[in-house]
Structure 1
Amino acid sequence: MIIGLVRLGYGNIYNVVLAISKICNATVEIWDKLGDIKCVDYIIFPGVGSMQICFASLKQIDMLESVKRMIINNKCRYLGICLGSQMLFNYNYEGKQNGMGVLIGNICIIKEDRVPHIGWNTVCFREGMGKEFYFSHSFFINEKFYRCYITKYRNHSFPSVIYRKRLCLTQFHPEVSGYWGWLLIRHILLLCVK
């Protein structure tokens, strides 16, 4: 299995590489310029930060359209982590930024007195069954019509895992979520070899 890992000069890519090295036999290729992009089994985008800066960085190195085309044309599977998941939707109210538009939906701010939402919280995989994962975000995907699993934060419920065809999106950071986070990454990656 070959994985393309998008690096923009910030983000948590080293923890992602560590997790992958411990849980499966895969080759990880770091992408930080257009010339790095090639056919892979999986793209992983471990986004951290703001959508505006992320999109500006992708445009500056001419990677935005290439990555988008690979996702839209089903050339590979995609794992988006936190901002890496939010960027696939239509619009982000943070900085009034258009997203890639791969999926229908908007990214909205968490309107609570305690923002950002940082720390461990439960992802409900089914009624009465949940696991703890590590979150760090101020915005959330405001759509629930995709196949998803929900997390509650104070007065908000939001999708924290979304599956859509060849896409898997997590609002939390599985790479720093210990055993269950690594197990989830392993499960997601093994889907592509079946």
Structure 2
Amino acid sequence: MIDIAVVDYGMGNLRSVSKALEHVATDKKVVVTSNPQDIAEAERVVFPGQGAMPDCVRELDSRGLREAVIAAAASKPFLGICIGLQLLFDHSEEGNADGLGIFAGQVKRFSAVDMHDVQGHKLKVPHMGWNEVYQSQSHPLWAGIENGERFYYVHSYYVAPQETALVAGYSEYPKRFTSVVAKDNIFAVQFHPEKSQHAGLKLLSNFVQWNGHS
């Protein structure tokens, strides 16, 4: 029995994700896999990713993982990370790529215009480094994590959900953007919990214990 399947479609450093999960779930079997059957059989699924959206979609399809990911997102505790969040939506401006369409909405690029902090300093794209995450709804994965806690980001694009009810957290750069979505058994984040030290490990620990219900 696989307790946690980490979806491997060739995009991103999955070792850091799997090691972080193993650290918080010492009694669980964590498997990094590109086998759809493993994903189907796992108790819970983590869907990470780094890189350009069109490449991610292509690699996901070339490995025959699209349907397995969609099925997992419909049926079991499911954690999306970074591109694993963006892929859940309809469409991305990055390469004019279609996502999996699990959630209605677009993936947009940070504007190059008016990117300044409150002190007037120019902000760079990609958004890279630590930033506060504000919780906009209660959720079991927020347990023990302070509102406004800092997490680590590396991204140039952000999700714009059609349904505001999906938004479980947001950050500012410099304007507010959605950084966390949650619905039913899905929780997905733009930041990297595996690189976010104590707060990130707490979120992963909460996921490992989560039954998939809010």
> Normalised by the size of structure 2, how large is the TM-score?
0.82
Question: Which one of 130, 144, 167 corresponds to residue 120 of structure 1?
Answer: 130
- Aligned-residue CA RMSD in angstroms? 2.1
Q: Alignment partner of 1:104: what SS?
A: strand
Question: Which one of 116, 121, 129 corresponds to residue 147 of structure 2?
Answer: 129
Higher strand share: 1
Is residue 148 of structure 1 aligned with residue 168 of structure 2?
yes
Structure 2 CA distance for aligned equivalents of residues 37 and 12 of structure 1: 19
Structure 2 CA distance for aligned equivalents of residues 187 and 6 of structure 1: 19
1:101 corresponds in structure 2 to: 101
Question: Which one of 157, 166, 170 corresponds to residue 139 of structure 1?
Answer: 157
Counterpart amino acid of residue 146 in structure 1: L
Taking the TM superposition and a 5 Å limit, the aligned residue runs for 1:33-182 are: 33-34=35-36, 36-72=38-74, 74=75, 76-112=76-112, 114-125=124-135, 129-143=147-161, 144-154=164-174, 156-182=175-201
Counterpart amino acid of residue 165 in structure 2: F
Identity %: 29
1:186 corresponds in structure 2 to: 205
How much does 1:35 deviate? 5.0
CA deviations 1:55-113 (Å, max 9, x no partner) are 111111111122212323x1x22100010011011111111111111111110001135
Structure 2 CA distance for aligned equivalents of residues 57 and 176 of structure 1: 24
Q: Which runs of 4+ in 1 moved over 4 A?
A: none
Structure 2 CA distance for aligned equivalents of residues 111 and 124 of structure 1: 21
How much does 1:39 deviate? 1.4
Counterpart amino acid of residue 3 in structure 1: I
Contact residue 30 and residue 36 of structure 1 kept, 8 A: no
Aligned residues: 191
Taking the TM superposition and a 5 Å limit, the aligned residue runs for 1:12-51 are: 12-24=13-25, 25-34=27-36, 36-51=38-53
